[in-house]
Structure 1
């Protein structure tokens, strides 16, 4: 069994064939999928999908690129969603300095509020980090997040950052970038302790080779798993067992 620990099946790119996409994932051995919210509406949709499919679970939150359109009351909406039995995490949250640095203070505030919610509800926090490695680790440190479950999703840092994150007890999610010819993640993937390793798609984004440039989907997490298994000298079954056990440690009800 494989687990796609980070997918956006609630994105409009799947509106025409969502059920078929889910069936292809199941046929490929991806028996668990964690659907991540961008905002209140997509968080609700993640819960709706989780309610319909046994193997789908929801994470609810407000993405850092969406905070400029969010109100304080939306955090209250997210908090109320956290009590749903198929909600297994908070996020995605974090810092994104690629698109709009002007919202940094707002991103910082929402990030800290998500961490607070994760602690209060005893749920993992799923962290988005784009061109903000130092900022993300600093905020996690000041919020003492090492005493809770944290996933640095779509990890793109170097080995030194990975070791720093692992020392704090965080999990690292690796996606399709690992399969790219120009990827610098080989040393990181090889050097991460097995018990901190997760696999994901971030679908519909960042499709792995040989699907790069096309819409990503959960079935393609197999390609990422194969690449990581090769880097680490493991069989696909061994890698699947390791990453599934890790996912079940992070997301308690998978």
Structure 2
């Protein structure tokens, strides 16, 4: 069985021994593929450092997170591109729109989102989308940018069945994480209306820790709990869920 964590910030752990422990626990839980979304220029060396330490298991992305889109964001994006020059990346992300923390930067966020979508298309790469309190805004951009080059993952999907249908109709996969294990998370009621061929699994570690470890720091090895919950919802065994969602991740990231 091979599980794929399509969205983890495991690189935030900079203590070598602790990081080794995190990766060992991944192996113990069959989480053998980890995709690392970038957030800003400071995190670029961390992303590539983890990918270099665990080649074949960790796959880097590059992107400017919407919460890091401020005045002068274009310079930050240029710096990210420069730091990633000559390096193999597997997606542009995480990118998108976040109106939970700051609504005043919406226009900047839309501009940054569009620019990074264009960059992904030019490189023939998927995008990984961050969307918080901004489904309408994100969807409007995607609908306008939709073509045969636009594809990727709608990270941490917690919307309703109608929204799921809109996103998957554009060719995107839905990232399902720890929220599916929460009693009042709601996404467990939506998943039965979505074909599993549209899903991938993720942790978003160190955030959104699944039950039974909720309240503690999340880690990629906990993806097993997400997979088990999804298996319970579909009435499948966890091995089948792992096989299908890993196959989906290979379709997205071409690795």
**Structure 1 residue 44: Cα displacement:** 2.9
Gaps of 5+ in 2: none
Query: What is the CA–CA distance in structure 2 between the aligned matches of 1:45 and 1:116, rounded to whole Å?
Result: 25
Give the direction of change, closer, same or farther, for the CA distance of 1:56–1:161 in structure 2 (3 Å limit).
Answer: same
**Structure 1 residue 10: Cα displacement:** 2.2
Task: Summarize deviations over 1:201-223 as a string: whole Å, max 9, x none.
Answer: 00000000011111000000000
Contact preservation (8 Å) 1:146, 1:170 = no
Query: What is the CA–CA distance in structure 2 between the aligned matches of 1:31 and 1:132, rounded to whole Å?
Result: 32
**Structure 1 residue 69: Cα displacement:** 6.5
More displaced, 40-49 or 69-78?
Answer: 69-78
Q: Does residue 161 of structure 1 match 2:151?
A: no
Give the direction of change, closer, same or farther, for the CA distance of 1:71–1:134 in structure 2 (3 Å limit).
Answer: closer
Q: 2:198 aligns with which of 185, 196, 204?
A: 196
**Structure 1 residue 75: Cα displacement:** 2.0
Q: Does residue 106 of structure 1 match 2:105?
A: no
Structure 2 partner of 1:226 = 228
Counterpart secondary structure, 1:206: coil
Query: What is the CA–CA distance in structure 2 between the aligned matches of 1:204 and 1:170, rounded to whole Å?
Result: 24
Query: What is the CA–CA distance in structure 2 between the aligned matches of 1:37 and 1:171, rounded to whole Å?
Result: 19
Query: What is the CA–CA distance in structure 2 between the aligned matches of 1:96 and 1:163, rounded to whole Å?
Result: 21
Query: What is the CA–CA distance in structure 2 between the aligned matches of 1:170 and 1:67, rounded to whole Å?
Result: 24
Contact preservation (8 Å) 2:202, 2:223 = yes
Task: Summarize deviations over 1:57-99 as a string: whole Å, max 9, x none.
Answer: 11111110011265323322333426422x1000101011111
Query: What is the CA–CA distance in structure 1 between the aligned matches of 2:206 and 2:72, rounded to whole Å?
Result: 23
Structure 2 partner of 1:41 = 42
Query: What is the CA–CA distance in structure 1 between the aligned matches of 2:149 and 2:91, rounded to whole Å?
Result: 15
Query: What is the CA–CA distance in structure 2 between the aligned matches of 1:52 and 1:145, rounded to whole Å?
Result: 36
TM-score using structure 2 length: 0.94
Q: 2:237 aligns with which of 231, 235, 238?
A: 235
Task: Summarize deviations over 1:175-223 as a string: whole Å, max 9, x none.
Answer: 0000001121123211212221100000000000011111000000000
Structure 2 partner of 1:53 = 54
- What is the aligned length? 250
Q: What root-mean-square deviation, in Å, do the aligned CA atoms of Structure 1 and Structure 2 show?
A: 1.4
Contact preservation (8 Å) 1:10, 1:37 = no
TM-score using structure 1 length: 0.94
Query: What is the CA–CA distance in structure 2 between the aligned matches of 1:145 and 1:19, rounded to whole Å?
Result: 41
Task: Summarize deviations over 1:87-133 as a string: whole Å, max 9, x none.
Answer: 10001010111111011111111111110111011111000000111
Give the direction of change, closer, same or farther, for the CA distance of 1:145–1:200 in structure 2 (3 Å limit).
Answer: farther
Gaps of 5+ in 1: none
Contact preservation (8 Å) 2:92, 2:120 = yes
